[in-house]
Chain A
Amino acid sequence: MTPTDRPAFSAGTPAGQSAQPAPPHTDPLLSVRNLTMTFPGRRGRSAAVRAVDGVSFDVAAGETLGLVGESGCGKSTTGRMIVRLLEPTGGSVSYDGRDISHLAQRELRPLRREIQMVFQDPHSSLNPRQTVARIIADPLLVQGSPAADARRRAAELMELVGLIPEHIDRYPHEFSGGQAQRIGIARSLATSPRLVVADEPVSALDVSVQAQIVNLMERLQGELGLAYLFIAHDLSVVKRVCDRVAVMYLGRIVEIGPRERVYTAPAHPYTRALLSAVPLPDPVAERSRERITLLGDPPSPAAPPPGCTFHPRCLKAQAICRSEAPVLSIAAHGGTRQVACHFPEAA
């Protein structure tokens, strides 16, 4: 049941994006097709790096897609292409039915209202020489709001994210890490976006503060109907916040589907290993767990292995895995979940 209104896929790319059985009249808010980013190498010194290699997914209005993977898997690069901090070298990003992958900066400006970003390190993503009022109001000023309105809105937003509006004239260093991340979130909400790309929004925070920010983001989603692309390496956090989850390995999505299916019955050997590597805060359960320990490190995206890029670390690898890259397709009994593996686990 391939929707007819979607572009055809070029050969050799993950096909079968038909897995979402969404009714045809609800177009996704964000639609990413065959997205690719190749960073050029330095002439004669290093090879080009394909950081993202044919990634496709949708995010519906009001939903959260979790994007997980280890360092270097291309999850942040994917996020930066979606907010167009990077211009993709291949494929497309469509927002609300419009292809935004190659828009010029001037054309992007109205879109910046709609798509916002929250960064990992709250302090380094806030200008230390600006007051909170200026930081939060900045997106509005850029969009042409009068200064007094922008300031009033900044105070409202501070209240919304659980900060004290009286602190509006303070500077970022006067806030703790968790409070600074609230400022970053308030800034991202200033223009009333519909999509927020959050790149590791809690991983720089203290453990006791992470839950506050996770709860805040969930509450805001409910109140404002936001859609999140939640990029993180922490599988426990992603499980908490997402409706669907995509697992990336070396620039490609190896598994994507509803959260329950991916977490309770992972079909890709990498997903299984990843989940089994997460330590549980429970010594009794930890001792009785059967762990799959992967050997070696993720390979370099500058020299990806042939065939399935996971095969050198995969316990199930066969001859075909070394020669032929698996395409993302619906797993047996997998419902709407897709997996890129020649020998997926039976669900």
Chain B
Amino acid sequence: MAAEPETLLSVRDLSVTFQAEGGPVRAVDSLGFEVHRGRTLGIVGESGSGKSVTSMAVMGLHTGAQVTGSITLDGRELVGLAERDLNRLRGRKMAMVFQDPLSSLHPYYTVGEQIAEHHRVHFGSRRAAARRRAVEMLAEVGIPEPKRRAGEYPHQFSGGMRQRVMIAMALACEPELLIADEPTTALDVTVQAQILELIARIQQERSLAVVLITHDLGVVARVAHEVLVMYGGRAAEQAPVEAVFAAPAHPYTRGLLDSLPRLDDADDAPLRAIPGSPPSLLAPAPGCAFVPRCPRAAAAGTDASERCERVRPRLVASDGRAVACHLPLSPAIAPTDRTRKVIP
């Protein structure tokens, strides 16, 4: 390994609070993480875990919410930055790809115009130059006949090709940070493989920092270097990808891994499901959000489980990983004793 990867994005003590009818809802609570150049951070979570709210906060897209804490991009503080300054950074320094490319593209403009517009806004380039750049970008993301396709409208593209267009648009101004929010969730699995490969290739070529938000642990295992597991708006666990999958420290992470049906399962034993459902942010528990579903809290004595219920666990770092749990799993425990087999 070469020198320490350079930190591009640094998030510290980030909280995002929305004003809802029933009072304030804290969708993200005291979150912190770093993203390095040339590396991918996978943020994993279920609905309501706060993973998408986090990415929107980084992009400065929460106009109605109260965002506190610190988000620095290449040393520059983004929280509290004026909209005009944010606009200069969006696209140029950081860019985002969303889950549903069809609803993120404008139906009335050709994809070439939409990519070119970005370039004109940020570089003040002339129409013809921007247009050439759009065609180049379409070629770079693997769209055949880019010159002809640039003159077509979003509805004329398939789902996978539309997502390529979104990536082309995001990368047209050569940002240093790419946030991809469930970029392959709406796609078929064979097309998903193409898009993940495309993102990985572009990342290597440009030393791009990538935040990949997903609910799919398989996708994370394939592309992420570091993993942040979120639950109920907070970080549950953060570690290098191998560590998370080989020896999860948080009972939630372990529960997720144990409950997944896998292609390489060698037996048919019933899945070890996590009981209950993800927590509601409308009525947050005073202690750990996972307590009602946690087997370790249930198995622990009254004193210990009471602590889980009353006291929010803080994210404690050691050995290059961090976990927010009063009763973390010893890292020596393998995640599962299920038999696996090698599959092609």
Contacts and interface: CB of A to CB of B under 8 A. Distances in A.
Interface of A: 70-71, 176-179, 206-212, 214-215, 218-219, 233, 235-237, 239-240, 263-264, 272-286, 289-291, 293-295, 297-298
8 contacts: A212-B274, A281-B257, A284-B246, A286-B222, A293-B190, A295-B194, A297-B158, A297-B191
- Grouping DSSP codes into helix (H, G, I), strand (E, B) and loop, the A interface class, with mixed when no group exceeds half, is helix
B161 A297 contact: yes
Contact of B193 (A263, A272, A283, A293): A293
Given A70-B190, A214-B261, A236-B261, A281 B218 contact: yes
A206 B46 contact: yes
B259 interface: yes
A178 to B, nearest CB: 5
Given A219-B270, A236-B263, 18 more contacts: A70-B188, A177-B47, A178-B277, A207-B256, A208-B255, A210-B259, A211-B272, A215-B270, A236-B262, A240-B268, A263-B263, A280-B222, A282-B264, A283-B245, A285-B342, A290-B344, A293-B190, A294-B190
Nearest to A73: B188
A177 B280 CA distance: 12
B262 A208 contact: no
A237 B188 CA distance: 15
A294 B255 CA distance: 33
In this complex, the interface size class of chain B, counting residues with CB under 8 Å from chain A, is: 35 or more
Interface in B207-238: 215-222, 224
Contacts of A289: 344
Contacts of B189: 70, 233, 235, 274, 277-278
A174 to B, nearest CB: 12
A285 B278 contact: no
Contacts of A207: 46, 215-217, 256, 259-260
A240 B273 contact: no
B271 interface: yes
Interface string B190-214: 1111101100000000000000000
Given A264-B343, A275-B344, A291-B193, A208 B161 contact: no
